[in-house]
Structure formats: C-alpha cells, structure tokens
C-alpha cells in the first residue's frame, strides 16, 4: 500500500511586501503540512516580468522567516520555468486544446456575446502566432472538490476560451500554476477564496495535459476590512512588515492570524505554535470572511509581551529605544531602563509604546501633557502645598521605593488627601503625564537630584502662571 506524502505550497505573486492575507495563507499551508508531516513548498509566481524582482522576493522570505514559517523546498521561481510552460503550451496546441488568437482587447470586447465571454472566434482560423488561448469545452461541467466548501460546480458554458500564453510566448499564471502543481506533485492547494473562480480553468488545463489526479483544494475565507471588502494594498494597512515596525511580536501576529477562520478547541485563543500544529485541520476552517481587527491583535500582542522573560522584553525593546528615540541618544541608560522594564512590560501593548512610557527618564525635562498639567496642577488647589511638601520630604529621606511611598503617604495625610489624589501633581511634575509606571519606582530610578529639580521647576511654572 502506497502512502502518499502530503505536499502543500504557498505561492505568492511578489506584488509588494507580504500582506496579512498572504501571511495567513502561508501559515495555514504550513500548519497543514506540519500537522500532516508533509512537505511545505515555497513557490514564487512571478511569470509577469514586472513582478520578478529579487528585492520583492527577498522581502517575502524575510517576513516568512520572521513569522517562523519555514519551508522545505524552494523558493521555486516560475520565471525560471519557462521551458516547462512552453512545452506544455505546445502540447496543448498540438492536441487541439489551444489555438492562437490575434484579437486585440477591443476585438475581444466586440466578440463577447451574451454572458459567456469571448466567443472563440479564432478557434479555427489556423493562426500560427499571437496569444495562445485554451479551448474550453462548450458542454459539461467541472467540479472543484473543496475541503472547506464542499463541491463547487462550474458549467462549462460559462467558461470562455482564456489566454494561457502571452503574445511574447510567456505563460500566464493559469498555465504556470497547472504545470507547476503537476510537476511538483502538489497534493493540496490551499489558497484564498479569490482564486476559487479560476480553479475550473486550471483543472481544465490539467485535464488536457493528461492529469488524472488533481490536488485537493481548500479555498480560505478572505480577510476583509471594516467595509467587508478584500484587504487592499491601497486603502488598508496590509504589510506584515509594517506591523513588525509598529511593535508587534511575530508570535502574537502568527497567533492572531491563525484565529482568522480557524479556532483551537476549548475556547482557547492564546495557543503555542506546537499546539496549533497538533490540532490544525483544514476541514475545520470556516468558509466565511473575517475582519482584520487590530484591537484584538493588540490585546493578544499585550499578552505575549507580558509573558516574555524580562531580559527578553528588554532586548526586544532596544530597537525602539535606539532608533529615533524621543531623547538625545547619549542620554539613554540601559541600566535605568532595565530597572523599570518590569513595570513597562505590563503596560505596553506594542513595543512601539515603550519609549513614551520611559521618556521622562532620559529627557532633561519631561514632555508635559498640558491637559494633565491643567487638571492635576494648574487647577488643583492643593498642588502647591503638595509640591512644597514633596520638595521638603524628598530632600533628605532615604532614597528607596518604600521610603518614598511612606513619606508621600504621610504628606497626603497631612493635607487630608488620599494618596491617589496627592501623588497626581507629583507625577505630572516628574513625568509630565498622568499615567505611567508606578510613581515611587520611577522616582527611585530617576534619582533625588533630578526629582527635586523637576519639583522646583513645576513650582516655578505654577507660581509664574498664577
């Protein structure tokens, strides 16, 4: 008994950086192949010379590696397989399954009668050059067996004679796709639903080429925007690389992507990749479109950030702290950041948020949120007394977190305020904001001198404005 090994592939057209839809398709193919113990192939569909650029192809591979999606074979490049497509095209022509057509775009338009497209005018003109068209059968039907949608039937009367080879002799994707999937012995074709309508054409080509064992198909639901349209490069934020730059972790991105159309058992959502591989079944993928919800991505990213060992969090944050920081680069102090890292880690939903949570530590003067200043100092009747009190108390107390907490609580007491209220003006004076890491830890790492200086400056500003 022969056991056929599963072979799946991700075959993107390098139209730019890898987008979230492509990444999800790659991920599902990868999960499927790994679950089945099969082979995962990467194939670049660059039959259009405009797309056959190394930098675009490198970008796709870089992003896949970042996501942890590795491949066993490839990348194969369709731009380098012209010979195979040419010989297939020749065979199709010789067997009467394809013919040359010299109709211009306008001619085709004029010859499109009714609802079934181009009427096949050139079928019997005996041309010896032009674009090569596949002679689609006029009767019968082709059934696509889809693992997610069941059988999908296409009436041949609705399939026009379509171009498989351009006038310049290069193959269009339908031909390349059919030939490659046959040559590369793909057993499963998992791709976006937008390709479902072209599947019967590929099947027809394969049949004409003598194929007797078509692959099993699975057309994944599209990922859509808030208007429920297919994600578009123009309107939507689709580049995975961009999410990376916005501070998302690859594990979080991958986890979120997996949740679009598929779901792990037992109401779990944060799932280690090994468990996904163990559980993933292509038949369980839902057929309906899914909205790409950045809010949820952020929530998941936050969970992954919090789960990181502190040292890893520090290391992962470095690029955001060292590249275009909001402070003079020479003022950054890794030891200081490490001291507050545990508190920052719990508050950041993306790594890109990290700098704004610690900027007051590396800036000569904090960036003041005017609304916060106004609320906690400008219009606060007790602000002056609290700033004075803090100045006095911090001047010679022990400089550690517990002591700062204690003397500030006492100060609040003396002013008849809850600590929560009393710390507000101090926080704004020191950090410039009303939110951030715990105050006493912040003061502790900031140091006595800078704390006192900032309190004095806040006092000066307050008195000069009143």
Using rule CB under 7 A, residue 423 touches RNA: yes
| Least distance in angstroms from the C-beta of 3 to RNA | 25
CA 159 to CA 284: how far, in whole Å? 30
CA 63 to CA 221: how far, in whole Å? 22
CA 374 to CA 366: how far, in whole Å? 15
Q: Is 233 a known active-site residue?
A: yes
Angle at CA 11, nearest 5°, toward 8 and 12? Answer: 150
Between residues 235 and 463, which has the closer beta carbon with respect to RNA? 235
For residue 363, count CB atoms less than 10 angstroms from its CB and return exposed for 0-12, middle for 13-18, buried for 19 or more: middle
Where do we find the tokens 């079944």? Answer: 281
Between residues 196 and 208, which has the closer beta carbon with respect to RNA? 196
Which among 40, 304, 71, 330 has a CA at the least distance from the CA of 189? 40
Using rule CB under 7 A, residue 167 touches RNA: yes
Positions in 118-147 near RNA (CB under 7 A):
130-131
Binding test (CB under 7 A) with RNA, winner from 5, 95, 158, 463? 158
Positions in 283-342 near RNA (CB under 7 A):
284, 286-291, 293, 295-296, 298-299, 302-303, 306
Using rule CB under 7 A, residue 279 touches RNA: no
Which residues, in sequence order, are bridge partners of residue 40? Answer: 8
Preceding amide of 75 cis, omega within 30: yes
Using rule CB under 7 A, residue 420 touches RNA: yes
Positions in 26-65 near RNA (CB under 7 A):
45, 47-48, 51
Between residues 1 and 368, which has the closer beta carbon with respect to RNA? 368
**Sequence-ordered list of residues with C-beta below 8 angstroms from that of 222, at least 6 positions apart, any chain:** 21, 192, 193, 194, 230, 231, 289, 290
| Least distance in angstroms from the C-beta of 330 to RNA | 28
Q: What distance lies between CA 332 and its chain's CA centroid?
A: 31
**Sequence-ordered list of residues with C-beta below 8 angstroms from that of 375, at least 6 positions apart, any chain:** 424, 434
Instruction: Please give the torsion angle defined by the CA atoms of residues 79, 83, 89 and 91, in that order, rounded to the nearest 10 degrees.
Output: -160
DSSP letter at 6 equals: P
For residue 389, count CB atoms less than 10 angstroms from its CB and return exposed for 0-12, middle for 13-18, buried for 19 or more: buried
Positions in 98-117 near RNA (CB under 7 A):
101-105, 108, 115-117
Backbone angles phi, psi at 452, to 5 degrees: -65, -40
Between residues 40 and 162, which has the closer beta carbon with respect to RNA? 162
Binding test (CB under 7 A) with RNA, winner from 259, 276, 430, 446? 259
Question: Do 395 and 406 meet the contact criterion of CB atoms below 8 Å apart?
Answer: no
Total site size for RNA, rule CB under 7 A = 87
Binding test (CB under 7 A) with RNA, winner from 21, 38, 75, 261? 261
Between residues 322 and 349, which has the closer beta carbon with respect to RNA? 349
Binding test (CB under 7 A) with RNA, winner from 73, 138, 155, 388? 155
| Least distance in angstroms from the C-beta of 394 to RNA | 14
Using rule CB under 7 A, residue 162 touches RNA: yes
Between residues 3 and 290, which has the closer beta carbon with respect to RNA? 290
Using rule CB under 7 A, residue 183 touches RNA: no
Catalytic residue among 227, 230, 233, 375: 233
| Least distance in angstroms from the C-beta of 128 to RNA | 14
- As annotated, the active-site residues are 233
């Amino acid at each position: 008994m022969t056991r056929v090994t599963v072979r799946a592939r991700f075959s993107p057209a390098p139209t730019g950086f890898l987008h979230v839809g492509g990444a999800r398709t790659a991920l599902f193919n990868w999960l499927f192949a790994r679950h089945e113990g099969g082979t995962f192939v990467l194939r670049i569909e660059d039959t259009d010379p405009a797309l056959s650029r190394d930098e675009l192809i490198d970008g796709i591979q870089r992003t896949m590696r970042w996501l942890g999606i590795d491949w066993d074979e490839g990348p194969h490049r369709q731009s380098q397989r012209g010979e195979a497509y040419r010989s297939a095209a020749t065979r199709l022509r010789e067997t009467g399954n394809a013919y040359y057509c010299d109709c211009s775009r306008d001619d085709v338009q004029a010859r499109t009668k009714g609802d079934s497209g181009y009427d096949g005018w050139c079928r019997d003109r005996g041309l010896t050059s032009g674009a090569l068209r596949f002679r689609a059968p006029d009767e019968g039907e082709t059934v696509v067996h889809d693992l997610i949608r069941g059988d999908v039937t296409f009436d041949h009367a609705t399939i026009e004679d379509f171009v498989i080879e351009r006038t310049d002799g290069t193959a269009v994707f339908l031909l390349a796709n059919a030939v490659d999937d046959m040559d590369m012995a793909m057993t499963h074709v998992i791709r976006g639903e937008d390709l479902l309508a072209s599947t019967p054409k590929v099947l027809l080509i394969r049949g004409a080429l003598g194929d007797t064992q078509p692959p099993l198909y699975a057309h994944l639901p599209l990922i859509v925007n808030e208007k429920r349209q297919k994600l578009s490069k123009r309107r939507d934020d689709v580049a995975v690389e961009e999410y990376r730059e916005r501070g998302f972790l690859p594990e979080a991105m991958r986890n979120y992507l997996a949740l679009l159309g598929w779901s792990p058992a037992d109401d779990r959502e944060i799932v280690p990749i090994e468990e996904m591989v163990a559980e993933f079944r292509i038949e369980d993928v839902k057929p309906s479109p899914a909205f790409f919800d950045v809010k949820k991505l952020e929530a998941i990213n936050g969970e992954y950030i919090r789960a990181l060992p502190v040292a890893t969090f520090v290391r992962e944050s470095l690029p955001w702290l060292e590249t275009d920081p909001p402070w003079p680069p020479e003022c950054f102090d890794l030891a200081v950041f490490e001291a507050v890292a545990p508190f920052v880690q719990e508050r950041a939903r993306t790594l890109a948020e990290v700098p704004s949570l610690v900027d007051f530590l590396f800036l000569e003067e904090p960036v003041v949120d005017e609304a916060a200043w106004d609320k906690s100092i400008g219009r606060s009747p007790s602000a002056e007394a609290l700033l004075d009190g803090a100045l006095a108390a911090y001047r010679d107390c022990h400089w550690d977190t517990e002591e700062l907490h204690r003397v500030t609580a006492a100060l609040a007491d003396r002013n008849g305020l809850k600590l929560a209220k009393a710390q507000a003006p101090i926080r704004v004076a020191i950090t410039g904001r009303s939110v951030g890491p715990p105050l006493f830890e912040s003061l502790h790492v900031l140091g006595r001198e800078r704390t006192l200086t900032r309190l004095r400056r806040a006092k000066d500003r307050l008195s000069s404005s009143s």
